Amino acid sequence: MSRVTDGAAPQRLRLRLRVARIALYGVLVLAAFGFLVPLVAMLFTSLKTMPEILGMAPFEGSTILSPPRAMSLDAWGAAWSGACIAVDCQGLKGYFWNSIVLCLVSVAISVSVGAVNGYALTKWRFRYDNVVFVLFLFSCFIPLQIVLIPAARLLGLVGLAGTMSGLIAVHVLYGIAFTTLFFRNFYVAIPDELIRCARIDGAGFWSIFLFVVVPISGPIAVVSIIWQFTSIWNDFLFGASFSGPGSRPLMVALNNLVNTSTGTKAYNVDMAAAMIAALPTMLVYIAAGRFFVRGLMAGAVKG
């Protein structure tokens, strides 16, 4: 009797685990479906013509989730280069490249400075270093709205108001606090003996940083790059506040497009423009999403 009981227990346990796994996958599938429905609706709408979107003949019965019967890329072309955005008709093309330049320069500077700051705050101890780190940490929690007026005043005084350089400077200064925090928490886990050995061999501050620390900083560098890129690319407040006519980023142009009314609302153009604006961040996460998670976990060991 005891043998039968002992043999049935593992079977019941395996059955419970299987049921739990099926339930978990079911919840994940439902969650994924919920997140994908708006994306599918946007994609289908961007590929439809306006008569099909409005359900006009011969497209009666078409819904927002219906696949396009007459697929067309005209809306994508209009959003990219031929749609009127506010008072001009340049399309998103010029603003897209503005955002590319803004992100590349801002990310490169903020990540590089953050790496040096994190290295100095962990491996080169100095007086009041903890106070400096607390100030960096505190600046991460400052709301964007608080810095608008001081930043606008400062940019005006130095002659960078309404320029791409001024917008880059704002994003760099605001992002350095986050990148410093990321790199500092990652570098805490590096053994001090490694740095001490390099010093004994005669290496200085920059030699240790460039040839010892930087080569093992890949995981946290990916985290910082993805964080900064998505934050800057999706930013609207700084772009609307500090950019000029020739330096507006993509999100400002997208807002102008969807809020411009010229007769019948072109929903297909709006959806195509939103898809264009979202594609870079989607591609970044698809290509480097797993490295983002690894980098976060690597920086969570100590600190």
CA atoms of 1 and 28, how far apart (whole Å): 41
Note the pTM of the prediction, 2 decimals.
0.83
pLDDT at 298 over 70: no
| pLDDT at residue 124 in the model | 82
- If phi > 0 it is left, if psi is from -120 to 50 it is alpha, else beta; for residue 101 that is alpha
Task: Please report the pLDDT score of residue 91 as a whole number.
Answer: 77
Cis omega (within 30 of 0) for bond into 51: no
Of 114 and 299, more confident = 114
164-188 pLDDT, tens digit each: 999 999 999 999 999 999 999 899 8
pLDDT of residue 141: 86
Mean pLDDT of 5-26: 82
- Got the DSSP string for 244-257? -TTT--HHHHHHHH
Residue 66 has pLDDT above 70, yes or no: yes
Residue range 53-81: average pLDDT? Answer: 82
Residue 70: per-residue pLDDT: 80
Residue 4 sits at φ, ψ, to 5 deg, of -65, -40
* pLDDT over threshold 60, residue 299: no
What mean pLDDT do residues 139-157 have?
88
* Range of weakest confidence among 12-26, 44-58, 161-175: 44-58
Please tell me the predicted confidence (pLDDT) of residue 128: 82
- Sign of the Cα pseudo-torsion (294, 182, 167, 242, in order): positive
User: What integer best gives the mean pLDDT of the chain?
Assistant: 85
Q: What is the DSSP letter of 88?
A: B
Q: How confident is the model at residue 85 (pLDDT cuts 50, 70, 90)?
A: very low
Q: Is the pLDDT score of 271 beyond 70?
A: yes
Identify the pLDDT of residue 246. Answer: 84
Exposed (0-12), middle (13-18) or buried (19+): which is 220, by Cβ within 10 Å? buried
pLDDT higher than threshold 60 for residue 303: no
Interval 71-99 mean pLDDT: 76
Correct CATH for 80-298 of 3.40.50.170, 3.40.50.720, 1.10.3720.10, 1.10.150.120 = 1.10.3720.10
Check pLDDT > 60 for residue 2.
Answer: no
Average pLDDT over residues 267-283: 90
CA dihedral 77, 244, 105, 228 (to 10 degrees): -80
